[in-house]
Amino acid sequence: MTATVPPPALRSGRVTPTAGEVAAVGRRRRPWRRLWAVVLGVVTVAAYVVFRTEGATEDGDAAAFRFFDGVRDWVDANRDSSPVFLYGINYVRLGVRLLVDAVQAALSGLGFAGLVAAITGLGVVLAGWRTGLLALGGFLAFAVLGLWEQSVDTLVLTVSAVLLSVAIGVPLGVLAARVRWVGAALRPVLDVMQILPTFAYLAPMTLLFLIGEPAAVIATMIYAVPATIRITALGIGEVSPSAVEAATALGSTRWQLLRKVRLPMARPTIVLAVNQTIMLALSMVVITALIDAPGLGQNIVSALQRVNVGAAFDAGLAIVILAVVLDRITTNAARRVRRSLSIRGGIGVGIAVVAAAFIPLGSADLPAYSFAAPVNDAVGWIELHWYDVTEGLKNGISAGVLDPLETVLVTSPWWLFVAAVAAFGTLISGWRAAAVAAPAAAGLAGLGLWQHSMQTLATVLVAIVLTMLIGVATGVVCARHDRLATALRPVLDAAQTMPSFVYLLPAVALFGASRFTAIVAAVIFAVPPVVRLVERGLRDVPPAVVEAARSAGSTPRQLLWKVQLPMARGGLLLAANQGIVMVLAMVVVGGLVGAGALGYDVVAGFSQRELFGQGLAAGLAIVLLGIVLDRLTQGFHDSKGPRR
């Protein structure tokens, strides 16, 4: 793994198990569990056969929908009169607007040449001249792609959201690490926040903050801040106790300890937290184009609407460039963090930036190039020549796997589903996890969106199976072929910086509007981290063990199946857990391109007034589904390993 992109587990701010923990999980054996699993399976199937229902269709009317509609009406009526809004929420909106305007003024005030010089200078000072050159090339590329203004808008929103996240997340992270009850109280909240699919909170955001930049920045902050908090807390918690003790012994006050010892020592980790916050914010900012945030997201939304893969390619490329530049600057800054910035260098760069701001060079003065035409040609060619293959694949999987699974889930009585979640949850992840998952599953029924939830669940399950098949296979190959792994790494890096949204396009182009399209997009989205985790899990198997197995005469295949995969089980299960959360997020976004079910409800909810309540309920259902899936799989890696 290159140091530039931290492991996916850390990306989402989760704590990654060490090799030791992974191995420990792998070693555990519980013979009775297999028996129980079989018994439970048989009982569940029998119960299904006996109690199967007709799968009553939803009539778009449920208590939950009416309740949310009521909430919406109340908010609409009181937005300018209720004190909650007059003195609270509207001020938040105003404050964020002020922040965005200030950042905007600062960045656009520099002008094209000035901003390019500034980012280059920042790169040089913080991260060395290589990174500076990368930043220079990257920002010039925005102009060449004709996306300068949109890129700056995206940058403005990202920077604003990151500033907010850091302002809120770092203090909270410090508190979480230092004050036990704060940490304990935050933990479940962060857990839920991290599995919230981006899509689910757009509607509540517009309800509270209306559309526009403030709502977008706040939504982005909510998406990114858990990583800020988690990683900061991790960094503060990891500060060497002996240094703290030494400083205490010299008579430091608590505040001096924090300011002079804990924070500086955690600084590399906090910079990493900022890095992760930036990456997450960038991917969310793009999605907030749906609620009228400006920037590259607008290009992608409009490309999606016009099924114009080429246009999206340019915008997607710009996003990746922005992500790579910001990522390199922050990771390299984290690595060089101790060399105090040379003041002279800083002044020099400052002068250069000011001078550059007066260069009358505009973004339009650069030669222009767009990938749109060649990409569209390529897509057209594929559409024409692969039509039978893509159709066959789509129809085969839909009819052969997806439809039967969906039928089973939809026709299960809800109580059977809840019972199954409780039973299998206990078996897989322990009663704690089941105690959270089962009520969440019951909540799905209570929301009046049973059928849609089960349809979404079916799509998610198929997608996760495909993701794991592809991810594990690729991971295994990568773990065995160093060259291939090295070659694949930058691709995986880029794939992980790409906002989920972008993946819809090639899928739509190839498969039209269907659930399978969402599955394909989800697989593309979730495979890279799975590959990473699997590869790492396999590589973490101690060489001594592999050597021993070899010397006992194992064939490579035996080595893989009998030694490496079982020992990497922890890594595989972690990959499944991570993958499933990502897949859910993507399948829901697939509602934009014909995947229907909950994702469609959400989209319809914030684009059609009379569907608002249903949309909000669907958002909640997605969250509940996320909790069910996460808890059921989290036990894989969490409850058995030592908790920190």
Partner 1 sequence: MTPMIEVADLWKVFGPRPERVVGSPLADLSRAELRERTGCVIAVRGVSFDVRPGEVFVVMGLSGSGKSTLVRCLTRLIEPTSGEIGIGGEPVRAMNPSRLRELRRRRVAMVFQHFGLLPHRSVLDNVAYGLEIQGRSRAERHRRAGETLALVGLEGHENQYPDQLSGGMQQRVGLARALATDPEVLLFDEPFSALDPLIRRDMQAEVRRLHGEVGKTLVFITHDLSEALSLGDRIAVLRDGALVQVGTPEELVGAPADSYVADFVRDVPRSDVLTLRWIMREPAPGERCEDEPLSQHTVIRDAVHRVLRAERPIPVVDGVRRVGVIDADRLLPALIGHHRQVPA
Partner 2 sequence: MRTLRTAATAALIASLAACGGATSGAGEESEPSAGPKGTVNLAINPWVGYEANAAVIAHLLEKELGYTVEKKELKEEIAWQGFETGEVDAIVENWGHADLKKTYIEQKKVAVDVGPTGNKGTIGWYVPQWMVDEHPDITDWNNLNKYAALFKTSESKGKGQFLAGDPSFVTNDAALVKNLKLDYTVVYSGSEAAIIKAAQQASAQKKPLLFYFYEPQWLFAKEKYVRVKLPAYKTGCDADPKKVACDYPDYVLDKIASKKFADANSTAYQLIKNFTWTNDDQNLVSDYITNQGMTPEKAAEKWAAEHEATWKPWIR
Can you give the binding site for partner 1, defined by CB under 8 A?
240, 242-253, 256, 260-261, 264-265, 267, 337-338
Number of residues interacting with partner 2: please give it, by CB under 8 A. 65
Residue 446 CA to residue 93 CA, distance in Å, equals 33
198 binds partner 2 (CB under 8 A): no
CB-count exposure of residue 508 (10 Å: 0-12, 13-18, 19+) = buried
97 binds partner 2 (CB under 8 A): yes
Closest C-alpha to 319, from 164, 459, 556, 145: 145
| Minimum distance, C-beta of residue 554 to partner 1, in the bound complex (Å) | 42
Binding mask 382-401 for partner 2 (x = CB under 8 A): ------------xx--xx--
Residue 536 CA to residue 199 CA, distance in Å, equals 30
Binding mask 493-532 for partner 2 (x = CB under 8 A): ---------------x---xxxxx----------------
What, of partner 2, partner 1, none, does residue 90 touch, CB below 5 to 8 Å by kind? partner 2
Count CB atoms within 10 A of the CB of residue 89.
Answer: 17
Contacting partner 2 within 553-612 (CB under 8 A):
591-594, 596, 600, 603-604, 606-610
Closest C-alpha to 368, from 75, 143, 115: 143
Cα–chain center distance at 380: 31
What, of partner 2, partner 1, none, does residue 438 touch, CB below 5 to 8 Å by kind? none
What, of partner 1, partner 2, none, does residue 308 touch, CB below 5 to 8 Å by kind? partner 2
CA-only gyration radius of the chain, Å: 25
| Minimum distance, C-beta of residue 252 to partner 1, in the bound complex (Å) | 5
Tell me the CA distances in angstroms from 419 to 412, 443, 559, one per residue in order: 11, 13, 39
**Any idea what the Cα angle at residue 224 is, between residues 223 and 230, rounded to 5°?**
115
Q: Which one, 339 or 644, has the nearer CB to partner 1?
A: 339
What, of partner 2, partner 1, none, does residue 508 touch, CB below 5 to 8 Å by kind? partner 2
Cα–chain center distance at 592: 18
Amino acid at site 626: G
What, of partner 2, partner 1, none, does residue 121 touch, CB below 5 to 8 Å by kind? none
224 binds partner 2 (CB under 8 A): no
Q: Which one, 73 or 238, has the nearer CB to partner 1?
A: 238
Q: Which one, 185 or 246, has the nearer CB to partner 1?
A: 246
What, of partner 2, partner 1, none, does residue 248 touch, CB below 5 to 8 Å by kind? partner 1
User: How many alpha carbons fall within 13 Å on the CB side of residue 379?
Assistant: 21
Amino acid at site 610: E
Residue 529 CA to residue 597 CA, distance in Å, equals 26
Q: Which one, 425 or 591, has the nearer CB to partner 2?
A: 591
Tell me the CA distances in angstroms from 432 to 422, 428, 435, 441, one per residue in order: 10, 11, 5, 15
| Minimum distance, C-beta of residue 54 to partner 2, in the bound complex (Å) | 13
Tell me the CA distances in angstroms from 545 to 189, 299, 556, one per residue in order: 40, 52, 14
For partner 2, which residue of 21, 24, 40, 79 counts as binding (CB under 8 A)? 79
Tell me the CA distances in angstroms from 7 to 316, 574, 581, one per residue in order: 23, 12, 16
147 binds partner 2 (CB under 8 A): no
| Minimum distance, C-beta of residue 620 to partner 2, in the bound complex (Å) | 18
Contacts of 336 (CB under 8 A, 6+ apart): 126, 127, 128
109 binds partner 2 (CB under 8 A): yes
Residue 186 CA to residue 589 CA, distance in Å, equals 27
Q: Which one, 245 or 365, has the nearer CB to partner 1?
A: 245
90 binds partner 2 (CB under 8 A): yes
Q: Which residues bind partner 2 (CB under 8 A)?
A: 59-61, 76, 79-80, 83, 85-87, 90-91, 93-95, 97-98, 101-102, 104-105, 108-109, 206, 210-212, 289-292, 294, 298, 301-302, 304-308, 394-395, 398-399, 403, 406, 508, 512-516, 591-594, 596, 600, 603-604, 606-610
